[in-house]
Amino acid sequence: MSKDGTVSIPAFIDLAAQRRQMGDRAGKALIAVLESGQYVLGPQVTEIERQLTAFTGAKHCISCANGTDALLLALMAERVGVGDAVFVPAFTFVATAEVVVLQGATPVFVDVRRDTFNMDPESLDAAIGEAKKRGFKPRAIVAVDLFGQPADYARIHEIAAAHDLVVIDDAAQSFGATLDCKKVGTLAAYSATSFYPSKPLGAYGDGGAIFTDDDVKAELLLSLRNHGKGPDQKETEEIGLNSRLDSFQAAVLLEKLKLFPAEIKARQASAERYGVKLRAVAKVPELMAGASSVWAQYTIVTERRDELAKACREAGVPTAVHYAQTLHQLAPYRDYPTAPGGLPQSEWLTDRVISLPMHGYLSEEAQDFVIDTVLDALRSGASSVAAE
Ligand SMILES: Cc1ncc(COP(=O)(O)O)c(C=O)c1O
């Protein structure tokens, strides 16, 4: 703490603190890859896939180049294409819908719930009816576990079963979370995650993985991520991608996985403290019964978002807005269908959400400074708690 009582908060997600915790282990692991000469799909890749199946309880882990490809590969494995409708939440990162369009299919935007930020099953049901009316073939649901909390899979699977749809979990933000004691990676037919550096389990570059229990689809995914090559690497059996994980990223992930359980606990403790202290001035995130979050973001909702962002900026507290627009408000996605009645909750959230610093190494002193800054900004003046 400085003399004037301010605390330095170096980053929104402090990756340097994690590096310090790792000491020279990541460096040594990277040098070992350098000296091995096996830079892509080397033994570290096989080992991280093995450890991630053990961590999640999923039968197969197929690593790939990034989280976007993980989603794309799942759609490719399901042969989703032209004329098919894929249901995606409107309040998410753009990659969730991007991959649907890249496959030639049509994204249909579904509204989210204000309390969990995740796909609203009622809006999903209505969107499926709308897609059928418009002549699309409903094929898949991409349920996003936004900010680290699993979506409502019990309801989503019921709806999927009624319409014969495959469920893909966009788990880019939720790797390590649980629902009803089951780990993310086992909540849907496919779970696609990202190892982008700022993700809960992040590498030092791009990386991703798909989890599935289906032996046949797992074989197909192995082929699709590597130019469609067969198991002997000679025949070309599919039109695939170059989406292999490199050994450097796998080596980093192996080191970071050792820290991950303690980091999840620390994130959960920070979220708990934020919740208790900020509840009076803003709408704080809620967990569904039976769910745990890995808190990829700690996102609050307030009527005075822009004022709060300014106060934080002035105090040196980094914040971010995820997301300032719904996907349907982005120019390339404007003309795709939405659930009947539109996306009122998603639009409401885009005007009010703000994310606070969150990572596995947030000290209580730093967090208290963030909390005091938010309290000072929101306690005075007009009511800041977002109306229900
Ligand atoms: C919800 C969601 N889906 C997909 C992705 C894509 O992951 P990547 O950046 O690894 O391609 C991200 C990453 O930001 C994300 O947050």
- The minimum-distance atom of ligand 1 relative to the CA of 69 is 11
Q: Which of residues 25 and 13 earns the better pLDDT score?
A: 25
Find, among 282, 323, 317, the residue nearest to 301 by Cα: 282
For the ranges 231-235, 307-311, 375-379, which has the lowest average pLDDT? 231-235
Read off the pLDDT band of 2 (50, 70, 90).
low
Is the pTM value of this prediction over 0.85? yes
Neighbours of 111 (CB within 10 A): 27
Span 260-379: which CATH code?
A: 3.90.1150.10
pLDDT at residue number 7: 80
Residue extents of the structural domains in the chain: 22-254, 260-379
Protein residue with its CA nearest to atom 12 in ligand 1: 172
Task: Give the pLDDT confidence of 231-253 residue by residue, as tens digits.
Answer: 888 899 999 999 999 999 999 99
Task: Give the pLDDT confidence of 76-89 residue by residue, as tens digits.
Answer: 999 999 999 999 99
Read off the pLDDT band of 384 (50, 70, 90).
low
Amino acid (one-letter) located at 49? E
Same fold, 22-254 and 260-379: no
Which of 194, 198, 201 has most ligand 1 atoms within 8 Å of CB, for mutation? 194
Q: How far apart, in whole angstroms, are the C-alpha atoms of residue 372 and residue 28?
A: 40
pLDDT at residue number 117: 98
Q: Which long-range contacts (CB under 8 A, 24 or more apart) does 299-302 make?
A: 299/117, 299/147, 299/353, 299/354, 299/355, 299/356, 300/274, 300/353, 300/354, 300/355, 300/356, 300/374, 301/114, 301/349, 301/352, 301/353, 301/386, 302/352, 302/354, 302/378, 302/384, 302/385, 302/386
CATH class for the domain made up of 22-254: alpha beta
Q: How far apart, in whole angstroms, are the C-alpha atoms of residue 92 and residue 171?
A: 12
Q: Sign of torsion, CA 11 12 15 21?
A: positive
pLDDT at residue number 233: 84
- Which residue spans within 82-150 are E strands per DSSP? 84-89, 106-110, 137-144
Task: Give the pLDDT confidence of 333-372 residue by residue, as tens digits.
Answer: 999 999 999 999 999 999 999 999 999 999 999 999 999 9
Query: Ligand 1 centre and the CA of 143: distance in Å?
Result: 13
- The minimum-distance atom of ligand 1 relative to the CA of 296 is 16
Residue 68 CB less than 6 A away from ligand 1: yes
- The minimum-distance atom of ligand 1 relative to the CA of 207 is 10
Task: Give the pLDDT confidence of 145-201 residue by residue, as tens digits.
Answer: 999 999 999 999 999 999 999 999 999 999 999 999 999 999 999 999 999 999 999
Determine whether 25 is exposed, middle or buried from the number of CB atoms within 10 Å of its CB (0-12, 13-18, 19+): middle
Residue 67 CB less than 6 A away from ligand 1: yes
Task: Give the pLDDT confidence of 310-320 residue by residue, as tens digits.
Answer: 999 999 999 99
- Exposure class string for 314-331: b at 16+ Cβ within 10 A, else e: ebebbbbbbbebbbbeee
Q: In the 8-state DSSP scheme, what is residue 345?
A: H
Residues 306-330, mean pLDDT to the nearest whole number:
97
- Mean of the per-residue pLDDT values for the chain? 95
Protein residue with its CA nearest to atom 8 in ligand 1: 67
Residues 295-313, mean pLDDT to the nearest whole number:
97
pLDDT at residue number 8: 81
Residue 208 CB less than 6 A away from ligand 1: yes
